[in-house]
Structure 1
Amino acid sequence: MRIKTLIGRMFHLGYTVQGVWYLLRRNGWSCQRPARRAIERDKAAIEVWKKEVWPQVEDPRRPTAPGSASKTKPVKG
Structure 2
Amino acid sequence: MRTALEQGAQAHGFEADLWTLERIDPIVERVAEVSLSRASVWRLLTGRPGWSLQRPERRAMEQDETETARWIPHEWPRIKKGQ
TM range (shorter): 0.3 to 0.5
Question: Scaled by the length of structure 1, what TM-score is found?
Answer: 0.37
Q: Whose helix proportion is higher, 1 or 2?
A: 2
**Which of these two proteins has the greater Rg computed from alpha carbons?**
2
Q: Which has the higher contact order (CA 8 A, sep 6+)?
A: 2
Question: Scaled by the length of structure 2, what TM-score is found?
Answer: 0.34
